[in-house]
Amino acid sequence: MPAYITSIIAVLAMVQPCDKVKTVLRSYKDPAGKEPICVMSKQKNCSDIVSQLSRSFRETMGYAEGVICFAPGRVNLIGEHIDYNGGHVFPCALTLGTYGAAARRSDDRIRFYSMDFPDDGILETDLSSIHTRTGKHWGKYALGVVWAFLEKGLSISSGFDFVCKGDLPPKAGLSSSASLEVLVGTVLRALFSVGDPADPAELPLLAQMAENQYVGMNCGIMDQFASANGKKDHALLLDCASLDFRYAPLDLQDCRIVIANTNKPHELVGSAYNDRRAECEEALADLRTVLPDLPALCALTPADFAAHKEAIRRDLPRRRAAHAVSEEARTLAAFDALQHHDLYAFGRLMNESHISLRDDFEVSCPELDLLAELAWQTDGVLGARMTGGGFGGCTVNIVRQDALATFTEKTNAAYRTRFGYEASFYVVRPGDGAALIS
Ligand code: GAF
């Protein structure tokens, strides 16, 4: 068996231990015509992880947990780098994410432990010293959410113990950080009955606040919103200006969503992400010299942008704005295409999105570009683009199921030849948002 096939199988086995993974890839079928075979699925893994987590909580904390919660990662189908430009985004939650076991304490102590970073040991602090930052420790994403709750006056009446474990591929840009943040928010709600579970924006905003102000990453709202509010078999069209959203059933016909992971680590903090945001703000400030009431870049139609773009003095912010304006139009057109069951139009818009992210927004990289280009050359791939923040991470592809094996095998062979290591592929199905499991 070629080495790259072994590797694909290994990675798939990681996300869903399954004897039939090889068969799944070679003849990807939906014989009953109902339930698509789901390779990235938590159904089988979920109870395993929950029992591992429960055992780990008992071992590390010395007693049994009170609650177990889950929050998913996300993949964005289209609408990239426009959540912080007042645009629409179209993500779906994944079935993989982060699980957490927790219990209240009778004192003010907070103890965090991650089964994924055992060498970091238990992070301990007090509710009263939560403002202390924790360097590069994973726990800052979790502590940041506790901090945000307190800053917003949401009462956390005692300390608590928390153990977590994730099943997303690490550093793949599938929002493991947002899933951890939303998980901690879900745990806090469950333990302390705080906040308003009927408000779909509350938890995402608290999680975003944690990431912006505590972690120092100036992200938009998309990832946290998708993690909190995802819906099985649906994508979510979110208007990031108003936080209004609607679910769109993902009628994929004979196609599947395939995530291709460059396996090039994607690291948002300290990357050019914050620079892109600042360049968009510069473009908006320049445009406001001629359009004083313009609320955000994505409020411009492409025609308005063409008429006023010269107000943006520097070429770089002008190109960033060109992406934001065109991506907003593509996202709305893609939503429309899906409503009309036109997956081919949807796929073409995805391809255009990648080109704009590559050329105007400049957040792609050679690894992402090669994966997208190979996909565009494959019969049966309707659309392919980088997804998420960029600079590494993953592409998202719409692939006819009869082309799945050819796509993954040929793409991986060419990828390995060029970069000397392999990509990984996951067939995904949209899952539900964060929830209390038990
Ligand atoms: C990252 C950010 F966290 C999101 O807010 C979004 O801007 C995305 O990059 C790009 O669309 O995932």
φ, ψ of residue 264 in degrees (nearest 5): -95, 115
CA of 430 to the centre of ligand 1 (A): 18
φ, ψ of residue 167 in degrees (nearest 5): -125, 20
CA of 220 to the centre of ligand 1 (A): 6
Ligand 1 atom with the shortest distance to the CA of 81: 11
- E-assigned strands of 85-230? 88-89, 91-104, 109-114, 123-126, 160-166
Q: In this structure, what DSSP letter does residue 169 have?
A: P
Nearest CA to ligand 1 atom 7: 81
Ligand 1 binding site (Cβ under 6 Å of any ligand atom): 76, 80-81, 83-84, 219-220, 222-223, 388-389
| Angle ∠(366,367,369) on CA atoms, nearest 5 | 60
Nearest CA to ligand 1 atom 1: 389
Residue 158 makes CB contacts below 8 A (sequence gap 6+) with 104, 105, 106, 107, 108, 127
Q: Containing H/E element for 289?
A: none
CA of 211 to the centre of ligand 1 (A): 12
CATH 3.40.190.10 fits 255-427, yes or no: no
Catalytic residue numbers, as ranges: 223
Q: Which CATH class is domain 3-250+431-436?
A: alpha beta
Residue 161 makes CB contacts below 8 A (sequence gap 6+) with 57, 61, 65, 102, 103, 105, 110, 111
CA of 271 to the centre of ligand 1 (A): 12
pLDDT score for 26: 28
- E-assigned strands of 284-412? 381-387, 394-400
Ligand 1 atom with the shortest distance to the CA of 222: 5
pLDDT score for 46: 80
Candidates 71, 432, 437, 38; CA nearest to 247 is 432
Distance CA 193, CA 180 (A): 19
Helix, strand, or coil here: 437? coil
Residue with tokens 């189908």: 77
Nearest CA to ligand 1 atom 2: 219
Site to probe by mutation for ligand 1, drawn from 83, 88, 368 as the one with most ligand atoms within 8 Å of Cβ, is: 83
CA of 55 to the centre of ligand 1 (A): 34
Nearest CA to ligand 1 atom 3: 219
Domain coordinates in residue numbering, the chain: 3-250+431-436, 255-427
Question: What one-letter code names the amino acid at 53?
Answer: L
Residue 18 makes CB contacts below 8 A (sequence gap 6+) with 12, 24, 39, 44
pLDDT score for 272: 86
Distance CA 406, CA 362 (A): 30
- Asked if 58 and 143 touch (Cβ cutoff 8 Å), the reply is no
Site to probe by mutation for ligand 1, drawn from 223, 227, 331 as the one with most ligand atoms within 8 Å of Cβ, is: 223
Distance CA 280, CA 206 (A): 24
Tokens of 341: 């069951």
Distance CA 203, CA 13 (A): 32
Distance CA 225, CA 215 (A): 18
Helix, strand, or coil here: 398? strand
pLDDT score for 402: 97
In order along its 438 residues, the chain shows pLDDT tens digits of: 444 443 343 333 333 322 222 222 322 333 233 222 234 554 446 889 999 999 999 999 999 999 999 999 999 999 999 999 999 999 999 999 999 999 999 999 999 999 999 999 999 999 999 876 666 689 999 999 999 999 999 999 999 999 999 999 988 999 999 999 999 999 999 999 999 999 999 999 999 999 999 998 899 999 999 999 999 999 999 999 999 999 999 989 999 999 999 998 666 545 789 999 999 999 999 999 999 999 999 999 999 999 999 999 999 999 999 999 999 999 999 999 999 999 999 999 999 999 999 999 999 999 999 999 999 999 999 999 999 999 999 999 999 999 999 999 999 999 999 999 999 999 999 999 999 999
